């Protein structure tokens, strides 16, 4: 990574950076409003976005006192791979806009921490380069953004590069209405004319460091893993329109199963019926997800439907979840309700935006320390020993 990250690393190690919210505040200072709101925002009135966080507040702990726990074992096994603690870095689109390190920095930080990284199709880096950056597990998240032929080519590349699992997002037949993006000029940033950019220029003038990094990195990146025959990598500005032609159906899983030999993980399940159908379709794992509140507003908080999904699956597939996780205690609550592990998105992206790879590493460190401390305070010796007896609904 460029030498300009060195002072950022010193800053992120400040004793004032003790929570994910501290990284969030640093990210907000560094980023233009349009980029920060892309991270921060949700769909429409953002009801689901808020409920994802509030759901954790409705759970309290039931600790076992006077128990000598010592060092707790945070490791878990997910789809056959060991990870050092039960949090996986979720796929995040456009991450190179937040910091030039983008997906490569995230993969490297995840590998150094002993956990898995999931690469989004909407990436400005080639999947081969991202896989090479990590010594930990790497999974590839697939969108059918440019049709079956292009998707098949990406699957073949992921297989050759050594990705272990394929994550298929099933909740995005169209992009959600993310009102902040429209108000703050996301379309103008990605591909608008100079005239269209003028109303939003002030936010860039007040963030010269981000602008300099953005320009030195080549501006808006192309999508290196969506290679359209005869055209090359797709332009980033084409994604929203392309999603409208990219919905995944249960029938698609049949041909994917034929060409992908590894585990398939379905992301976006919110009902017991879809969970059972996922098992029938051969999913090794399910991610209980509402896309971080960014797709269908008024969808339920993922923590609240997690028990229904766990019950429906009945041990036939592993259950993961995402949405609203900001503290290690949130991870512990999800595990108590039956999740094998969680995916974290915004929690590490705040670190990426604040300080690149060093910021991601700090986010992981904060969450890991939170989980370990929470387990000791609960009187529980390992993440795998957590169950519903350690929590209660308020």
Could you tell me the residue ranges of all domains in the chain? 5-393
Structure confidence at residue 204 as a pLDDT band (50, 70, 90): confident
pLDDT at 239: 56
pLDDT at 6: 35
Span of 73-87, 211-225, 231-245, 265-279 with lowest mean pLDDT: 231-245
Beta bridge partners, 83, equal: 76
pLDDT at 240: 59
Residue 162 has pLDDT above 90, yes or no: yes
Cα separation, 341 vs 352, in Å, equals: 22
pLDDT at 5: 40
pLDDT at 131: 97
Q: What is the mean pLDDT of residues 192-204?
A: 78
Cα separation, 154 vs 194, in Å, equals: 34
Q: What is the mean pLDDT of residues 99-112?
A: 97
**pLDDT per residue over 330-382, tens digit each?**
999 999 999 999 999 999 999 999 999 999 999 999 999 999 999 999 999 99
Please answer whether residues 103 and 368 qualify as being in contact, where contact means their C-beta atoms are separated by less than 8 angstroms.
no
Neighbouring residues of 368: CB distance < 8 A, sequence distance ≥ 6: 74, 84, 85, 87, 113, 328
Instruction: State yes or no: is 99 an active-site residue.
Output: no
Tokens describing residue 220: 């808006």
Q: Which CATH architecture has domain 5-393?
A: Alpha-Beta Barrel (3.20)
Cα separation, 383 vs 370, in Å, equals: 12
Could you give the C-alpha distances from 56 to 112, 329, 334, 394, in angstroms and in order? 28, 9, 9, 10
Residue 2 has pLDDT above 60, yes or no: no
Q: Give residue 262's Cα distance to chain centre.
A: 21
Please answer whether residues 152 and 19 qualify as being in contact, where contact means their C-beta atoms are separated by less than 8 angstroms.
no
Residue (of 343, 336, 346) closest to 307 by Cα position? 336
**When comparing pLDDT for 144 and 136, which is higher?**
136
For residue 389, the 8-state DSSP code is G
Structure confidence at residue 14 as a pLDDT band (50, 70, 90): low
Cα separation, 285 vs 108, in Å, equals: 24
Span of 8-22, 97-111, 153-167 with lowest mean pLDDT: 8-22
Q: What is the mean pLDDT of residues 46-60?
A: 97
Q: What is the mean pLDDT of residues 79-90?
A: 97
Give the DSSP letter string of 319-368.
EEEESS--SHHHHHHHHHTT-SEEEESHHHHHHHHHHHHHHHHHHHHHHH
Residue 21 has pLDDT above 80, yes or no: yes
CB neighbour burial string for 250-273, b if at least 16 within 10 angstroms, e if fewer: eebbeebeeebebbbbbbbbbebe
Residues 99, 164, 291, 372: which is the catalytic one?
291
Catalogue the E-assigned strands of 248-309: 264-269, 285-288
pLDDT at 173: 80
**When comparing pLDDT for 91 and 220, which is higher?**
91
Residue 3 has pLDDT above 80, yes or no: no
Give the Cα-Cα-Cα angle 181, 183, 187 (nearest 5 degrees).
Answer: 50
Structure confidence at residue 18 as a pLDDT band (50, 70, 90): very high
% pLDDT > 90, the chain: 73
**When comparing pLDDT for 306 and 201, which is higher?**
306
Residue (of 27, 40, 359, 38) closest to 207 by Cα position? 27
Cα separation, 363 vs 352, in Å, equals: 9
Structure confidence at residue 243 as a pLDDT band (50, 70, 90): low
Span of 14-23, 73-82, 313-322 with lowest mean pLDDT: 14-23
Is 193 strand, coil or helix? coil
């Amino acid at each position: 990574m460029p030498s300009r990250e060195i002072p950022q690393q010193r800053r992120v190690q400040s004793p004032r950076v003790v929570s994910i919210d501290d990284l969030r505040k640093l990210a907000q200072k560094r980023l233009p409003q349009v980029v920060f709101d892309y991270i921060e925002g949700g769909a429409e009135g953002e009801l689901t976005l808020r409920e994802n966080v509030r759901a954790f507040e409705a759970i309290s702990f039931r600790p076992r006192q006077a128990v000598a726990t010592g060092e707790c074992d945070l490791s878990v096994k997910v789809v056959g791979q060991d990870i050092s603690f039960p949090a996986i870095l979720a796929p995040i689109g456009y991450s190179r806009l937040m910091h030039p390190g983008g997906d490569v920095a995230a993969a490297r930080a995840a590998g150094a921490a002993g956990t898995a990284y999931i690469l989004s199709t909407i990436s400005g880096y080639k999947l081969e380069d991202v896989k090479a950056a990590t010594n930990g597990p790497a999974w590839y998240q697939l969108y059918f953004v440019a049709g079956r032929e292009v998707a098949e080519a990406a699957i073949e590349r992921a297989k050759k590069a050594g990705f272990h699992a394929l994550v298929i997002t099933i909740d995005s037949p169209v992009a959600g209405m993310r009102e902040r993006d429209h108000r703050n000029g996301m379309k103008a940033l990605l591909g608008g004319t100079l005239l269209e950019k003028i109303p939003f220029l002030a936010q860039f003038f007040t963030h010269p460091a981000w602008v300099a990094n953005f320009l030195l990195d080549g501006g808006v990146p192309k999508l290196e893993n969506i290679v359209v025959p005869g055209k090359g990598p797709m332009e980033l500005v084409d994604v929203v329109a392309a999603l409208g032609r990219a919905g995944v159906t249960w029938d698609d899983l049949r041909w994917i199963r034929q060409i992908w030999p590894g585990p398939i993980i379905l992301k976006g399940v919110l009902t017991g019926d879809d969970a059972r159908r996922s098992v029938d379709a051969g999913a090794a794992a399910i991610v209980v997800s509402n896309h971080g509140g960014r797709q269908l507003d008024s969808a339920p908080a993922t923590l609240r439907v997690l028990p229904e999904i766990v019950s429906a699956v009945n041990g036939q597939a592993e259950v993961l979840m995402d949405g609203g996780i900001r503290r290690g205690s949130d991870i512990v609550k999800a595990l108590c309700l039956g999740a094998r592990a969680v995916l974290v998105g915004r929690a590490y992206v705040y670190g990426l935006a604040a300080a690149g790879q060093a910021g991601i590493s700090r986010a992981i460190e904060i969450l890991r320390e939170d989980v370990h401390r929470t387990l000791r305070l609960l009187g529980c010796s390992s993440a795998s020993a957590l169950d519903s007896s350690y929590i209660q609904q308020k």
